[in-house]
A and B are shown apart, each in its own frame.
Chain A
Amino acid sequence: MEQGKFYKKISADTNNLNFNFSEIWKHRDLILLLVKREFVSKYKQTVLGPAWAIIQPLLTTVVFTFIFGNVAGLAECGAVPTFLFYMCGNIAWQFFSGCLTATSSTFIANSGIMGKVYFPRLCMPVSTTLSQLISFAIQSAMFLVFLVIYLFIPEYSIGINLCVLMAPVLILQMAMLGLGCGIIISSATTKYRDLQFLVGFGVSLWMYATPVAYSMDLFKSSAVLHIIARANPMTPIIEMMRYGFLGGQAGSLDWLSYGWSWIFTLVVLAWGISLFNKVERTFMDTV
Chain B
Amino acid sequence: MSEEILKIERVSKKYKLGMIGGTTLRDELQRKRAARKGLEDPTKQIGDKSIGRTGEEFLALEDINITVNKGERVGIIGHNGAGKSTLLKLICRITAPTEGSIEMNGRIASMLEVGTGFHPELSGRENIYMNGAILGMTKAEIDKKIEDIIDFSECRQFIDTPVKRYSSGMYVKLAFSVAAHLDSEIMIMDEVLAVGDMAFQKKCIEKMSKVSKDEGRTVLYVSHNMNTIRQLCERVIVLSHGHIIYNGDVETGINIYLGRDRDYVNKIAVTDEMRELEAGKNPTIESIDLNNEEGISPYGDKLRFSLEIKNRSAESFPFLVRIIMKTLSGTIVTMSCNEDTILMAGGEIRTFDVEMDTSNVVPGQYTFTFVLYEVGEMNADRNLEVLRDIAGITVKASPEFNHGMSWNSSWWGSFTNGALKITEV
| A and B part of one assembly | yes
B15 touches A118 (CB 8 A): no
A117 touches B131 (CB 8 A): yes
Q: Choose the segment among A5-13, A213-221, A241-249 that binds chain B (4+ C-beta atoms closer than 8 Å).
A: A5-13
Interface size class of A (residues with CB under 8 A): 35 or more
Question: Which of B105, B106, B139 has most chain A Cβ within 10 Å?
Answer: B105
A30 touches B96 (CB 8 A): no
Q: Which residue on chain B has the smallest CB distance to residue A30?
A: B133
Residues of A close to B113: CB separation below 8 A? 116
A116 touches B119 (CB 8 A): no
Of residues 89 through 112 on chain B, the ones whose CB sits less than 8 Å from some CB of chain A are 89-90, 92-106, 108, 110, 112
In the docked arrangement, what's the CA distance between A119 and B94, Å?
Answer: 9
B23 touches A191 (CB 8 A): yes
B24 touches A194 (CB 8 A): yes
Is B28 located at the chain interface by the 8 A CB criterion? yes
Question: Which of B22, B110, B130 has most chain A Cβ within 10 Å?
Answer: B130
Cβ distance B97 to chain A, nearest Cβ, rounded Å: 5
Residues of A close to B28: CB separation below 8 A? 191-192
Partner of A37, one of B25, B122, B137: B122
Cβ distance A175 to chain B, nearest Cβ, rounded Å: 22
Of residues 115 through 157 on chain B, the ones whose CB sits less than 8 Å from some CB of chain A are 115-119, 121-122, 126, 129-131, 133-134, 136-139
In the docked arrangement, what's the CA distance between A29 and B133, Å?
Answer: 6
Can you list, as one digit per residue, whether each of A272-286 has a CB less than 8 Å from chain B (1) or not (0)? 000000000111111
B96 touches A10 (CB 8 A): yes
Partner of A29, one of B20, B108, B139: B139
Is B215 located at the chain interface by the 8 A CB criterion? no
User: Using a Cβ–Cβ cut-off of 8 Å, how many residues does chain B contribute to the interface with A?
Assistant: 51
Is B3 located at the chain interface by the 8 A CB criterion? yes
Cβ distance B327 to chain A, nearest Cβ, rounded Å: 37
Is B404 located at the chain interface by the 8 A CB criterion? no
Cβ distance B129 to chain A, nearest Cβ, rounded Å: 6
B121 touches A33 (CB 8 A): no
Cβ distance B249 to chain A, nearest Cβ, rounded Å: 27
Residues of A close to B126: CB separation below 8 A? 33, 37
Known: A37-B130, A285-B95. A8 touches B103 (CB 8 A): yes
Is B21 located at the chain interface by the 8 A CB criterion? yes
Cβ distance A114 to chain B, nearest Cβ, rounded Å: 7
Is A226 located at the chain interface by the 8 A CB criterion? no
Cβ distance B242 to chain A, nearest Cβ, rounded Å: 15
Q: Which residue on chain B has the smallest CB distance to residue A23?
A: B136
Partner of A287, one of B21, B119, B185: B21
Q: Which residue on chain A has the smallest CB distance to residue B129?
A: A33
Is B26 located at the chain interface by the 8 A CB criterion? yes
Residues of A close to B90: CB separation below 8 A? 10
Question: Which of A118, A192, A282, A286 has most chain B Cβ within 10 Å?
Answer: A118
Known: A41-B121, A194-B26, A287-B21. A115 touches B94 (CB 8 A): yes
A8 touches B3 (CB 8 A): no
Q: Which residue on chain A has the smallest CB distance to residue B90?
A: A10
B15 touches A285 (CB 8 A): yes
B99 touches A8 (CB 8 A): no
Of residues 171 through 205 on chain A, the ones whose CB sits less than 8 Å from some CB of chain B are 191-194
Can you list, as one digit per residue, whether each of B247-269 has a CB less than 8 Å from chain A (1) or not (0)? 00000000000000000000000
Cβ distance B81 to chain A, nearest Cβ, rounded Å: 16
A8 touches B95 (CB 8 A): no
A116 touches B24 (CB 8 A): no
B117 touches A44 (CB 8 A): no
In the docked arrangement, what's the CA distance between A196 and B97, Å?
Answer: 28
B24 touches A37 (CB 8 A): no
Cβ distance A124 to chain B, nearest Cβ, rounded Å: 11
Interface of B is mostly: loop
Q: Which residue on chain B has the smallest CB distance to residue A8?
A: B104
Cβ distance A187 to chain B, nearest Cβ, rounded Å: 14
Can you list, as one digit per residue, whether each of A115-136 has a CB less than 8 Å from chain B (1) or not (0)? 1111100000000000000000
Q: Which residue on chain B has the smallest CB distance to residue A118?
A: B93
A284 touches B110 (CB 8 A): no
Residues of A close to B20: CB separation below 8 A? 285-286
Is B396 located at the chain interface by the 8 A CB criterion? no
A30 touches B104 (CB 8 A): no
Is B32 located at the chain interface by the 8 A CB criterion? no
Residues of A close to B103: CB separation below 8 A? 6, 8-10
Of residues 49 through 92 on chain A, the ones whose CB sits less than 8 Å from some CB of chain B are none
Q: Which residue on chain B has the smallest CB distance to residue A195?
A: B25
A114 touches B94 (CB 8 A): yes
In the docked arrangement, what's the CA distance between A254 and B116, Å?
Answer: 51
Known: A12-B100, A192-B28. A117 touches B106 (CB 8 A): no
A119 touches B15 (CB 8 A): no
Is B44 located at the chain interface by the 8 A CB criterion? no
Residues of B close to A281: CB separation below 8 A? 95-96
Is B322 located at the chain interface by the 8 A CB criterion? no
Is B7 located at the chain interface by the 8 A CB criterion? yes
Partner of B110, one of A30, A34, A117, A283: A117
In the docked arrangement, what's the CA distance between A287 and B23, Å?
Answer: 10
Question: Which of A27, A29, A44, A114 has most chain B Cβ within 10 Å?
Answer: A29
Q: Which residue on chain A has the smallest CB distance to residue B99?
A: A12
A10 touches B105 (CB 8 A): no
Residues of B close to A29: CB separation below 8 A? 133, 137-139
Q: Which residue on chain A has the smallest CB distance to residue B91?
A: A10
In the docked arrangement, what's the CA distance between A119 and B92, Å?
Answer: 10
Residues of A close to B134: CB separation below 8 A? 27, 30, 117-119
Identify 13 residue pairs between A and B in the complex whose beta-carbon atoms are under 8 Å apart, listed by A's number: A14-B96, A27-B134, A34-B130, A113-B117, A113-B119, A115-B94, A116-B112, A118-B92, A118-B108, A118-B134, A192-B23, A193-B24, A287-B21
Additional 16 contacts, C-beta under 8 A, given A8-B103, A192-B28: A1-B106, A6-B4, A8-B106, A10-B93, A12-B97, A14-B96, A114-B117, A117-B92, A117-B94, A117-B110, A118-B93, A118-B108, A118-B110, A281-B96, A285-B15, A285-B21
Interface residue ranges, A against B (CB under 8 Å): 1, 3-12, 14, 26-27, 29-30, 33-34, 37, 40-41, 44, 112-119, 191-194, 281-287
